[in-house]
């Protein structure tokens, strides 16, 4: 598309950065100290990259009610306004506002990308793609910081 066409625009990345083809044993091609989204943000510094949706199957992305109960979807990105725009889009897909967790800046895409191997393992074990992560927490639980 060219950097000039992406400048200033929210750019949604849903990629699982895996090598190989579906059905093959696949590995992450970037992990730990970098992510696909940081690579995209570096390549297109004026785009407002937001990572989301990669933790669920495509059918669940646009129809979260396929999975019963409250379950979560994540957004990562450096630009708060872009994340708000993308969150609005997610609510139009059917995601509840309080199910959308803002993980922080674009570096937090590393974690959701590294979930990919577990996503595939779970799909095989459960023999379905209609599942998702649900965050449950204790009220007034042990503080992180
Ligand atoms: N499917 C899911 O449930 C799911 C879940 C989470 C995340 N994702 C992510 O969503 C993305 C799309 O997934 P998908 O299942 O739709 O994959 P897909 O069916 O394999 O489609 C990939 C598309 O990317 C195009 N493509 C591949 N390499 C390209 C290149 N170098 N330049 C331009 N286009 C290229 C392919 O074009 P050709 O057909 O011409 O090769 C194809 O249209 C992937 O990044 C995947 O990791 C998918």
Q: H/E element holding 125?
A: helix 116-126
Instruction: Give pLDDT, residue 91.
Output: 98
Instruction: Give pLDDT, residue 94.
Output: 98
What are the backbone angles phi and psi of residue 38, rounded to the nearest 5°?
Answer: -65, -35
Q: Verify whether ligand 1 is closer than 6 Å to residue 123 (CB atom).
A: no
Q: Verify whether ligand 1 is closer than 6 Å to residue 16 (CB atom).
A: yes
Q: Verify whether ligand 1 is closer than 6 Å to residue 28 (CB atom).
A: no
Contact (Cβ atoms closer than 8 angstroms) between residue 62 and residue 120? no
Instruction: Give pLDDT, residue 1.
Output: 85
Index of the ligand 1 atom closest to the CA of residue 22 = 20
Instruction: Give pLDDT, residue 21.
Output: 85
- Residue 15 Cα to ligand 1 midpoint, Å, equals 8
Strands 48-52 and 73-77: antiparallel
Please, what is the average pLDDT of the chain? 96
Instruction: Give pLDDT, residue 23.
Output: 78
- pTM summary value: 0.94
N residues, the chain: 145
Report which protein residue has its CA nearest ligand 1's atom 14: 58
Identify which of 92, 87, 88, 83 has the alpha carbon closest to the alpha carbon of residue 48.
83
To test ligand 1's pocket by mutation, which of 15, 21, 130 has the most ligand atoms within 8 angstroms of CB?
15
Give CA–CA dist 133/142, Å, rounded.
21
DSSP-based three-state secondary structure for 111: helix
Q: Verify whether ligand 1 is closer than 6 Å to residue 52 (CB atom).
A: no
Domains of the chain, first to last = 3-126 (3.40.50.720)
- Burial (0-12, 13-18, 19+ Cβ within 10 Å), 101: middle
Q: Hey, what are 89's tokens?
A: 């889009």
Q: Verify whether ligand 1 is closer than 6 Å to residue 14 (CB atom).
A: yes
Q: Hey, what are 80's tokens?
A: 């708060």
Instruction: Give pLDDT, residue 41.
Output: 98
Q: Hey, what are 70's tokens?
A: 């409250």
Ramachandran quadrant class, 78 (left: phi over 0; alpha: psi -120 to 50; beta: rest)? alpha
Q: Verify whether ligand 1 is closer than 6 Å to residue 62 (CB atom).
A: no
Kindly list the averaged pLDDT for each block of 10 residues, start to end, along the chain of length 145.
Answer: 96 96 88 98 98 98 98 98 98 98 98 96 96 95 91
């Amino acid at each position: 598309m060219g950097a000039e066409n992406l400048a200033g625009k929210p750019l949604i990345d849903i990629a699982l950065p895996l090598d190989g083809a579906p059905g093959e044993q696949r590995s992450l091609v970037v992990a730990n100290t970098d992510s696909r989204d940081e690579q995209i943000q570096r390549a297109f510094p004026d785009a407002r990259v937001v990572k989301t949706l990669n933790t669920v199957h495509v059918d669940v992305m646009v129809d979260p009610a396929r999975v019963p109960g409250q379950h979560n979807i994540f957004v990562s990105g450096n630009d708060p306004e872009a994340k708000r725009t993308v969150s609005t889009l997610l609510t139009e897909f059917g995601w509840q506002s309080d199910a959308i967790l803002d993980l922080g800046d674009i570096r937090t895409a590393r974690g959701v990308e590294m979930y990919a191997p577990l996503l595939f393992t779970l799909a095989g074990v459960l023999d379905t793609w209609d599942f998702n992560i649900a965050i449950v927490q204790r009220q007034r639980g042990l503080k992180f910081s």
